[in-house]
Amino acid sequence: MTLLSSQAPRLNQKGLARSQPSMPAGSASLRDDKTRLAVILPRHRLWEWHRQLILHLVKRYDVAVFLDDRASPYRRAERLWLKLEQLAFPGGALAKPIAPEDSWRPVSEFNDIFGRIVINLSERSDSYAEAIELRYDGVLDSDALIERLLSQSSPKLSAHCTGTNGTLAASRLAIEDKFSIGRGLQAAFSRSISLIDRALCPTTGQSAGDGNATATPVGGNLARFVPRMIAHKVSSLVMKPFRWRQHWQVALRDGAGAFKVVEDDGARFYADPFLHRANGRTFLFVEEYPYADRRGLISAAEVVGDRLLAAPVPVLKRPYHLSYPLVFEHDGEFYMIPETGENRSVELYRAIEYPWKWELSAVLMQGAVFSDATILFHDGLWWLFMTADWFGASTQDELSIFYSETLQGDWKPHLTNPVKSDSRSSRPAGRIVQQGGRLFRPAQDCDRTYGAGIVWFEITMLTKTCFSEREMTAWDGQAELSMDGLHSFDQLGSLQAIDFNCSVARGVMRKNVSTIAPRRGGKLERSFSRASHCLQIDQV
């Protein structure tokens, strides 16, 4: 068992620091405790995340805090709207305005004696020889962040060194609730703490895409955002009695042609399909989510051709949510690593009566909400790819890798964790494929919404210190299949499995649909064919 514990504070559901720390998605060494660090904050734009950042930094540094007056308060309409949101839709503690602490000094008192390292969060440029600054879509002013959230777009945050103008860390955020500015700020501020933490101990290899993205805070988006948000809330309220809640469905096909939908009774959904063959028989493993229980479990069914012999039956149930049942074989034993993020762990199960009964074999990691852990054996090492809620941030936009010499051994973080911080292609979307000495990784596109599509990458470098990948193709079934989500894929020979999600109206229409077919010669079918040409699954 590996208990992750190091320098980064865990945040509780409100976004405040927990007393028990846990490792961030990195393995950087700590600096000397006596290192002096100066933090310059904007007096008129103070948030709780600033205080939490200071509480985190004082554990490792001698910190002095200064207040800069140059950044004016946010526009009155924005401040009023944020207050109204906090009353109606609480968005987390990090996005609450605060008053300055008594110990924080005017910036006029700052000089070099207070800080060998300077973190300039004043949102205004300065003449410090080398300072760490945060930028919001390329600019210092956090108005750019608010405007981006008001336009319901995914912002990009980055930490820079002013002396070299180099990017030390960057992230394209997944905004899970695009109709709440407060919740969007909560996500951005959680990631801001992580970025500054990484900037103090930078590594190479992190990718956020669109490195030259810029924005200018121009205002005006609030007037467009408010009517959209009100319409969304009213529509949600009216449609609530008729809505399918995240009604995912699984579909199979053997070779080219249409996918056959796995039927459900409407009281549950199936998602996260994984295929596995043993003793000449093929089985489908899925997350089963009964709406009445509001908690997922793992079910399985035998597959013949592209159809199930019977409805999936439960094979693993725990007192916490289970999903993403990746099944594999090792040393003559069958194992499963389901997602157990609600238990803040990564758990390994062994089959005692394959495929119908499983027992807990080991807890591989603890200390965070780990999502979609995907295992791979490559070059004599075991690798785990996953996302995690470091600093209370989203699990949809940062990829971390861990490795071990043995399956149940000591799992260590990759040197450059998180190896990717990009809502469009970080979260795993299924088994990593090994074919002809090449590695192919499916990833979820969570930029527009959770699990909106799948992007395929070829991993071009995977060592303890380096990771790189290149994009091959993308699958987005929205246009051709009227899907709202496509977020998991597995293949076993010519047999393919996907899952998909539909909106309220489309979900009702699809209730009795038995097949879905990509348009012949269309973009989706071409991208399926392009990826499938490479994908002959070798079990790990």
Taking Cα atoms as reference points, which of 426, 447, 439 lies closest to residue 207? 426
Asked whether the predicted pLDDT for residue 8 surpasses 90, the reply is no
- Binning pLDDT at 50, 70 and 90, where does residue 505 land? very low
Helix (H, G, I), strand (E, B) or coil at 84: helix
Q: Quick one: tokens of 352?
A: 């005692």
Tell me how far apart the alpha carbons of residues 25 and 23 are, in angstroms, rounded to a whole number. 6
The reply to whether domains 31-238 and 243-532 share a CATH topology is no
Q: Which of 290-294, 373-377, 489-493, 519-523 has the highest mean pLDDT?
A: 373-377
Could you report the per-residue pLDDT of 355-371, keeping only the tens digit for each?
Answer: 999 999 999 999 999 99
DSSP letters, 343-399, are GTEEEEEEEEETTTEEEEEEEEEESS-EEEEEEEEETTEEEEEEEE-GGG--SSSEE
The domain spans of the chain are: 31-238, 243-532
Tell me how far apart the alpha carbons of residues 155 and 137 are, in angstroms, rounded to a whole number. 6
Cis peptide leading into 325, omega within 30 of 0?
A: no
Q: Which CATH number fits domain 31-238: 1.20.1740, 3.40.50, 3.40.1130, 3.30.70?
A: 3.40.50
Higher-confidence position of 253 and 225 = 253
Could you report the per-residue pLDDT of 401-448, keeping only the tens digit for each?
Answer: 999 999 998 999 999 999 999 999 999 999 999 988 899 999 999 998
Q: Quick one: tokens of 6?
A: 């190091």
DSSP letters, 243-283, are --SS-EEEEEEESSSPEEEPP--SSEEEEEEEEEEETTEEE
Question: How many C-beta neighbours within 10 Å does residue 119 have?
Answer: 26
Asked whether the predicted pLDDT for residue 31 surpasses 60, the reply is no
Region of residue 359 (left: phi > 0; alpha: psi -120 to 50; beta: else): beta
Tell me how far apart the alpha carbons of residues 211 and 157 are, in angstroms, rounded to a whole number. 10
Cα–chain center distance at 127: 36
Protein fold of 243-532: Tachylectin-2; Chain A (2.115.10)
Q: Could you tell me if 45 and 124 are in contact, meaning their C-beta atoms sit under 8 angstroms apart?
A: no
**What pLDDT is stored for residue 33 in this prediction?**
53
DSSP letters, 458-510, are EEEEESSS-EEEEEEEEE--HHHH--SEEEEEEEETTEEEEEEE--HHHHHHT
**What pLDDT is stored for residue 523 in this prediction?**
62
**What pLDDT is stored for residue 482 in this prediction?**
67
CA geometry: angle 98, 101, 102, nearest 5 deg:
145
CA geometry: angle 500, 506, 511, nearest 5 deg:
75
